[in-house]
């Protein structure tokens, strides 16, 4: 008797976990694809500012995040520390290209020697525009 109740309970749980009998797996996949496409469209590089596009295509995301410290500081923290001036933009662009150590802790920032000065300036300009 206990075995029968256990088996019936397992079968009931299996049937209940199958979900809505009117939905299909294909419909769920299509809905998920549409949601993903919408998310991707909302974040397309064509809607980003030039510096933001460059950051999105570079390796910056490995160490930085817009709002939270990862390995390096968050972009908003950088913007809070440095006023947006031509002097700071040039200085920070040089830091992006040459790398640095000690400004935000003991871990060094990796140099990006293949990045042009103009691209680095666009990236820094976007970062400094995040000042609250």
| Known binding positions for heme c | 60, 64, 109
Helix (H, G, I), strand (E, B) or coil at 43: coil
Phi, psi dihedral angles at 37 (to 5 degrees): -60, -40
Question: Taking the C-alpha atoms of 113, 119, 125 and 129 in order, what is their torsion angle to the nearest 10 degrees?
Answer: -110
Distance between start and end Cα atoms, the chain: 68
Annotated binding site: 60, 64, 109
Residue 68 — left, alpha, or beta (φ > 0 → left; ψ -120 to 50 → alpha)? Answer: beta
Residue with tokens 């293949």: 114
Residue 3 — left, alpha, or beta (φ > 0 → left; ψ -120 to 50 → alpha)? Answer: alpha
């Amino acid at each position: 008797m206990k075995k029968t109740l256990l088996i019936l309970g397992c079968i009931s749980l299996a049937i209940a976990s199958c979900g809505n009998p009117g939905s299909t797996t294909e419909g769920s996949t299509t809905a998920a694809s549409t949601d993903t496409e919408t998310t991707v469209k909302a974040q397309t590089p064509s809607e980003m500012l030039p510096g933001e596009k460059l950051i999105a295509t570079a390796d910056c995301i490995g160490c930085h995040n817009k709002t939270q410290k990862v390995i390096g500081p968050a972009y908003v923290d950088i913007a809070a520390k440095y006023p947006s001036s031509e002097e700071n933009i040039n200085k920070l662009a040089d830091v992006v290209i040459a790398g640095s150590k000690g400004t935000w802790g003991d871990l060094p920032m990796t140099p990006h020697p293949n990045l042009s000065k103009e691209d680095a300036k666009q990236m820094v300009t976007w970062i400094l525009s995040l000042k609250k």
